[in-house]
Amino acid sequence: MTTAVPLTKQQQATQAFLSTPLDASLTGGIIGNAHVSIKELPVKWLAIFRSRGNGYCNDVAERLKVTEVWIGKSAEDPQKLEGMTACEVEVTPDMCTAQGVVHQGVIMFLIDECSTLAMVTASAAEGRNSAPGVSCTINALYHDTALSGTTLRIVSRSLAVGHESNSARVEVWDKQNHKLIASGGQMTMPPSLPGKWMK
C-alpha cells in the first residue's frame, strides 16, 4: 500500500488559494465562455507564479493581464475540449534590448507562463484540478520584432492535457500592428516525487 506524500506548507497554501473564490472585480473584465471558476484559474496561477520570489521577469509578470478565457471543441478532434487564454502586456524599456526591441528571453518567458494557463483551463474543463507541472520542453520561433510601447497579445491553446503530461501552443502578437512576433509551445509533466534519500 502506498502512502501519500504530505503537502508542504507552500503546497497547502496554494491549494487553499486555488479553492477560494476571487473578488469579482479581478475577473469581471475577462471575456469568454468559460465559467467564472475557470476564468479565475489563469489569474490565480499567475499570482502563484509571482509569489515565489523576485525571479526572472517578475516585473513583467506583475503587468501581465488575463483578457480572455474560452473553452471549446478542438477543431482537429471535436470529442476533445480545448482551453484558450489570451493575456496582454505593454512592452516597456526594461523588456527590450539595447536596440529597443523586445528581448527574445522575455518572449520565451511569456510563452512559458502563458502556455500553462491554457493547460490548467483545459484540465479544469475536463474535471481535473491539475497543477501546470514542470517544463519538459519549450520552443519558440521568432517571426518579427516589437518596440517599446507595443501591446503584446499572447494567445495560448491547449493541445493535450492529462495526468501524465500537458502541452499547449502559443502565439505572441503585436496587437496594434497585427503582426505575429513569435510562436511556440511547451510540454509539462508532474514533478517527480521525492526519493527515499530525501526523506
Predicted TM-score (pTM) above 0.85: yes
Per the DSSP assignment, residues forming a β-bridge with 180 are 173
Q: Fill in the DSSP letter of residue 75.
A: S
The residue among 153, 184, 190 whose CA lies nearest residue 169 is 184
Q: What is the DSSP string of 105-174?
A: HHHHHHHHHHHHHHHHHHHHHTT------EEEEEEEEE----BTTPEEEEEEEEEE-SSS-EEEEEEEEE
Mean pLDDT for 25-33 is: 94
pLDDT at 158: 95
Give the three-class secondary structure for 52: coil
Q: How far apart are CA 129 and CA 144, in angstroms?
A: 36
Res. 35: pLDDT tops 80:
yes
Q: Fill in the DSSP letter of residue 88.
A: E
**In this predicted model, what pLDDT tens digit does every residue of 84-127 receive, in sequence order?**
999 999 999 999 999 999 999 999 999 999 999 999 999 999 99
At the second CATH level, the architecture of 9-193 is: Roll (3.10)
**In this predicted model, what pLDDT tens digit does every residue of 130-184 receive, in sequence order?**
888 899 999 999 999 999 999 999 999 999 898 889 999 999 999 999 999 999 9
Amino acid type, 197: W
SS (H, E, C) 17-46: HHHCCCCHHHCCCCECCCCHHHHHHHHHHH
Give the count of alpha carbons within 13 A of 43, CB side only.
23
